[in-house]
Amino acid sequence: MEGLKFVLVFVLLALASFASASDPSPLQDFCVAINETDGVFVNGKFCKDPAQVTENDFFYAGLNMPRDTSSPVGSKVTAVNVAQIAGLNTLGISFARIDYAPYGGLNPPHTHPRASEILVVVEGTLYVGFVTSNLANGDNRLITKVLNPGDVFVFPIGLIHFQFNVGKTNAVAFASLSSQNPGVITIANAVFGADPPIKPDVLAKAFQVDKKIVDYLQKQFWTDSN
């Protein structure tokens, strides 16, 4: 009987060790990304020879410079992820500067499928918020806050969120994200500007609107994104 207990305990410990055998942390000081794959793709990027790494692999300049906010939504996101700083590979972080035009500059509703985000306002006044996933009653709760310089707000991973300039001057915010490549899905662009387009009948039924409205929106977003 004692032998059976020992075997059961051993099996449970073995299963527990396998269950926790994930590897979220780097196994070396750094893994500076390179684009050479030789036809092999991995979850992340291959590493440069550490002997060839330089300070520029960990450096990006220019986030102090204002960006052009003359886009249709009145904002500009300057991402600093593994595509801009190769040394971010395997480190699980990235950064961004967001510029907003006065009187309604908008970083439109979007999600980051692989990252939570923490945002700090350095100039202007922003109305920010996110929408929860479906609650038990089927509702989606909107959580919002008006931010001023020095204020910080968190957007949980995968949730739809936005920032809107409610001030009369330019606004600037900086954001840190918990992935080297957080990804972004801008809701309106993805739904109405998908390539190839989602069938209008699908969207008309989903949004409970006339198909002519869907046709109009798809034409707008298809023109903008394609």
Q: Is 107 annotated as a binding residue?
A: yes
Q: 3-class SS at 221?
A: helix
**Do residues 160 and 130 touch, judged by C-beta distance below 8 A?**
yes
Any residues with CB less than 8 A from the CB of 42 and at least 6 apart, and which? none
Determine if residue 117 is labeled as part of a ligand binding site.
yes
Distance CA(2)–CA(7), nearest Å, equals 9
Judge whether 110 is annotated as a binding position.
Answer: yes
Specify whether the CB–CB gap between 148 and 71 falls below 8 A: no
**What one-character DSSP code corresponds to residue 93?**
-
Binding site membership for oxalate: which residues? 107, 112, 117
Binding site membership for Mn(2+): which residues? 110, 112, 117, 161
Binding site membership: which residues? 107, 110, 112, 117, 161
